[in-house]
Amino acid sequence: MLSIVVTIVLILNLFAIIAVIFLERRNPVTTMAWLLALTTMPLVGFFLYLLFGRGFTSKKALSLQKQEERFVKRIVDRQLGDLSGGREVNATYKQLMQMNLKVDQALCTNNNEVKIYTDGKEKYEDLLRDLQEAKQYIHLLYFIIGNDQIGEAVFKVLKAKKEEGLEVNVLFDALGQVKDSMKVYKKYKKAGIEVNMFSPLKATASLKANYRNHRKLVIIDGEIGYIGGMNLSDSYQGMDKRLKPWRDTHLRIVGGAVALMEMRFILDYRHVSGRRMEHMVKYFQRKEHFTGTVPIQIVSSGPHETTENIKLTYVKMIQSAENYVYIQTPYFIPDASFLDAIRIACYSGNDVRIMIPGLPDKRFVYKGTLSYVEELLEMGARVFCYNGFLHAKAIVVDDKMCSIGSANMDIRSFKISFESNAIMYDQGVAEAYRVIFLEDEKHCKEILLEEFKKRSWFERIEESLSRLLSPLL
């Protein structure tokens, strides 16, 4: 009996190899990684492929419908015409704006106010206040909604708002915090709140287990939006004893960019719930009272896209640097194009600094990050290890532009997860984040090349294995 099962699995393994080579248009590095797993570990490799290797097929469900597409395209064409028709826009911004309009239909709004959070407690205090003051509706999307203190505090506010008659829609990822997912879902459902889980962990969904919704979006009354790296969990306000101190970055936006966050939420919610959100026009009412001046594009990406939108944004930002590039990321596992962009920036004389955690939350992935450090140092970049866990996903260039969002600088965020970032074209915001980065450096240890080269062979082997399998992580 066992031999029959093994034979069947080996035959299926052969079909998986054929699919990887001939049917799926993958990056060659990813293809080789899967072939290595399937040929050297047939049984284990096949089940890993079933869980994590299959391509994402629900592409249309996460995209604009034809009527919506036509509406957005008219605005995109108008903004592209403005940029090419001599509109006064900084040349550095112009090309990146054009690219994001073309690859992601990322409309640009110029009337935004921005507040940057580097402390979870402050972010949650403001979020709770804004939720309490909501008048019409609340849309909330997180990778993780914890069944803990902050999770309970937000739940109580949402429950009260639902009882007041407001529309409350909640979406979170089923795999973000597996042990609490069903508890949270049932609690919200019992309270009468419209709640859905992205890819719930059931038999029919397990074959898409690798594709997770990693976005963090909150939209309140179409006027206030939150976007960044912080989930809804006590860990993000420094209550994880294992990963202290915890350093993260998040944004509060008031302005036109909130409508673009709304569009992303609606597409995700519609895909998961399987139903249309009625009277959508109410979410996109023209608002004349915004007084901010920060231009913002909301750029999103995911496995349903034909291009890696956020990665292209990162690469273009790095390529545009004339003075400096400062990067913060918990996971640094780039592809060749991203690494080459860093190399070009270094060789062109830019001050390139990359900040990573000093404490790992996932040891194997962290070793993958460390496998790139020697190469980065040799090309002239400076690498800093934060004294604690760094979860911020940010890049700031030349006091001109800054990106903050959910996307790490790794292959998973580039290709596999659903992500959203805010790209801000503003000197004030960029300068503010440069100051934040330099302040964070005071809590870091800089990695020096000669010292790093002294690590043991065992550490090098760990790094090499992690790097080899990084396309699958």
> Per the residue annotation, which of 316, 393, 400, 415 is the catalytic one?
393
* Percentages (nearest 5) of helix, strand, coil residues in the chain: 50, 20, 30
The DSSP symbol for 7 reads H
> Per the residue annotation, which of 123, 214, 304, 415 is the catalytic one?
214
Structure tokens at 189: 């459902």
Which helix H or strand E contains 450, and what residues bound it? helix 449-452
Whether 410 is a known active-site residue: answer no
Structure tokens at 41: 């570990």
CA pair distance 384, 465, nearest whole angstrom: 23
CB burial readout 285-301, b (16+ within 10 A) else e: eeeeebebebbbbbbbb
- Rounded to the nearest 10°, the torsion over CA 50, 51, 53, 54 is 70
> Per the residue annotation, which of 139, 161, 187, 216 is the catalytic one?
216
Whether 66 is a known active-site residue: answer no
CA pair distance 21, 448, nearest whole angstrom: 41
Q: What is the CA radius of gyration of the chain?
A: 22
Whether 240 is a known active-site residue: answer no
Structure tokens at 433: 């984040």
> Per the residue annotation, which of 316, 367, 391, 415 is the catalytic one?
391
Whether 442 is a known active-site residue: answer no
At position 245, the amino acid (one-letter code) is P
> Per the residue annotation, which of 173, 180, 268, 398 is the catalytic one?
398
Strand partners, 137: 167
| 208 to 174, 215, 247, 320: CA distances (angstroms) | 12, 17, 31, 36
Helix axis angle, 91-104 to 66-84, nearest 10°: 160
Nearest to 218 by CA among 127, 108, 104: 127
> Per the residue annotation, which of 221, 351, 361, 399 is the catalytic one?
221
Alpha helices (H) in 248-323, listed in sequence order: 257-273, 309-319
190 exposure class (CB count in 10 Å sphere: 0-12, 13-18, 19+): exposed
Whether 289 is a known active-site residue: answer no
CA pair distance 119, 248, nearest whole angstrom: 7
Q: Are 216 and 249 in contact (CB under 8 A)?
A: no
Concatenating the DSSP letter of every residue in 33-86 gives HHHHHHHHSHHHHHHHIIIIISPP--TGGGS--HHHHHHHHHHHHHHHHHHHTT
Structure tokens at 170: 């909640």
Whether 391 is a known active-site residue: answer yes
At position 97, the amino acid (one-letter code) is M
Q: Evaluate the omega torsion of the peptide bond into residue 245 and state whether it is cis, within 30 degrees of 0.
A: yes
Q: Give catalytic residues, as residue numbers.
A: 214, 216, 221, 391, 393, 398
